[in-house]
Amino acid sequence: MTLVLNEEQRLLKDTAKDFLTRVMPVTALRKLRDQKDELGFNPNHWQQMVELGWASMVLPEAYDGLDFGYMGLGAVIEESGRTLAASPLFSTVVLGSTIIIEGGSEEQKSTFLPQIAAGALSLALALEEKPHHQPSDFAATAVADGDDYIINGEKLFVLDGHSADYLIIATRLQAGTGLFIVDANTDGIERRRHHLIDSRNAATVRFNQVRVKASTLIGNAEQGQDILNTGLDYGRICLAAEMLGAASECFERTVAYLKERDQFGVKIGSFQALQHRAAKMFIELELSKSVVLDALSAIDEKRADLPQLASLAKARLNDVFELITNEAVQMHGGIGVTDELDIGFFLKRSRVATQILGSSHFHRDRYASLCGY
């Protein structure tokens, strides 16, 4: 257990901050939104991220990865939260590659991982079926048919679903959970992109009698749920890192505004009514930093309390990001509700990020159950 970044990781974080503020500031997301971009991210930016080694960072060396660990990737993702950078990093690397590494056959690993490392292939996890996060008991089915499986069902809120090259589909098998990695252009797959408040990507994906080979199954029915849960916990932790970065940025912009805005002949930051609220936000962020770092180190150390920490981190950052974005709007006053100010982008991202992989209610419930009550 370690809660400080080492020299290399700090350097990486600085590099990431420099690149992201220079190349992918919030205005880059604003541009994607205003131009109604088809892809929802800038492939040129993604290519530069790949060149910086971010796609290969947590992959094993045997598959062209850097094996640098999640403390490092988490630092990068935290910085990406500060600029609300849109990219396939989360879906492809954090969710996708984890599931392949955890449960994939040798053939699946050597097929997909080097391509992910090279930024040549993107993945999306087709998981949700209801308005709220539900990581098990799927209605989508996969039924064995000779050497093949037939997949039927509908998946909602599939992040990067419309643009991914391959989909990992969570299904119900006769006994257990089946995770299939399937070419997104296979017959019978219908994808519909949605526009969400945060200007990023999600799609509804229908599977209509989709015939896939048995070799597309990751692991087996018995392991499927465990493999998926690991992928989801990695995802929750990395998302919490992103939310920490975004909340910190939003907070710092707000404090800067409190120091520059004059009313009643003084800076509004001199009002105790605002000072105490700002101090409380600072406190929440400091506690959040510790939780996110510990959760990231739990991944690297393969600790048994990983599921607890994933829920601790996601629940906390859901709450803190919500608090800070709400306060940021309020403390900015009138300009806080204009589209011209970036604060609105943080507010909108907060609510989308909260719904990804579990709300605070979901994670408090899970944490309590994991602790035996």
Partner 1 sequence: MSDLDQFRQTVHAWLEENCPPSQRRPITRDEQVWAGKNKVFPSNDAKLWFERMRDKGWTVPEWPIELGGGGLDERQAKILKEEMKRLGCRTPLFDLGIWMLGPAVLEYGTEAQRRQHIPNIARGEVRWCQGYSEPGAGSDLASLQTRAEDKGDHFLVNGAKIWTTNADKADWIFCLVRTDPSAKKQEGISFLLIDMDDPGVSTTPIELISGESEFCQTFFDNVKVPKGNLIGELNKGWSVAKSLLKHERKLMAEIGGDTPGPSFGPVQAALEYVGLDSSGKLKDRGLREQLVNHEMAFRAIGLTHFRSFEERMNGVADNNVPLIMKYVGTEESKRKEEVLMAILGHRALGWNDAEFNDDELLTNRGWLFSKALSIAGGTSEVQLNIIAKRVLGLPE
Residues that bind partner 1 (CB under 8 A): 1-4, 255, 258-259, 266-267, 269-270, 272, 274-276, 278-280, 282-283, 286-291, 293-294, 312, 315-316, 364-365, 367-369, 371-373
Residue type, 306: L
CB-based contacts of 194: which residues, under 8 Å, 6+ apart? 202, 203, 204
Q: Least distance (Å) from partner 1 to the CB of residue 267?
A: 5
β-partners of residue 246 are: none
Classified as helix, coil or strand, 2 is coil
112, two tokens: 């997909």
Residue closer to partner 1 (CB basis): 41 or 367: 367
Q: Least distance (Å) from partner 1 to the CB of residue 152?
A: 30
| DSSP assignment string, 219-278 | S-TTTHHHHHHHHHHHHHHHHHHHHHHHHHHHHHHHHHHHHH-EETTEEGGG-HHHHHHH
Q: Least distance (Å) from partner 1 to the CB of residue 205?
A: 32
Residue closer to partner 1 (CB basis): 101 or 281: 281
Q: Least distance (Å) from partner 1 to the CB of residue 137?
A: 15
Q: Least distance (Å) from partner 1 to the CB of residue 105?
A: 35
Q: Least distance (Å) from partner 1 to the CB of residue 150?
A: 34
Residue closer to partner 1 (CB basis): 134 or 141: 134
Residue closer to partner 1 (CB basis): 186 or 360: 360
- Cα dihedral across residues 301, 302, 306, 310: positive or negative: positive
Residue closer to partner 1 (CB basis): 8 or 190: 8
Specify the residue for token string 């990020």. 353
Residue closer to partner 1 (CB basis): 4 or 147: 4
β-partners of residue 218 are: 179
Residue closer to partner 1 (CB basis): 282 or 303: 282
109, two tokens: 């690993």
What's the rounded Cα separation, in Å, for the pair 89 and 157? 17
Q: Least distance (Å) from partner 1 to the CB of residue 302?
A: 18
Do residues 153 and 196 make contact, with C-beta atoms less than 8 angstroms apart?
A: no
Q: Least distance (Å) from partner 1 to the CB of residue 291?
A: 5
Phi/psi at 157 (5° precision): 55, 40
Residue closer to partner 1 (CB basis): 62 or 287: 287
Buried b (16+ CB within 10 A) or exposed e, 42-77: beebbebbbeebbbbbbbeeebbbbebbbbbbbbbb
141-145 and 123-126 as β-strands: parallel, antiparallel, unpaired?
Answer: unpaired
Q: Of the candidates 218, 271, 231, which has an alpha carbon nearest to the alpha carbon of residue 127?
A: 231
176-183 and 262-263 as β-strands: parallel, antiparallel, unpaired?
Answer: unpaired
Q: Least distance (Å) from partner 1 to the CB of residue 8?
A: 13
Residue closer to partner 1 (CB basis): 25 or 269: 269
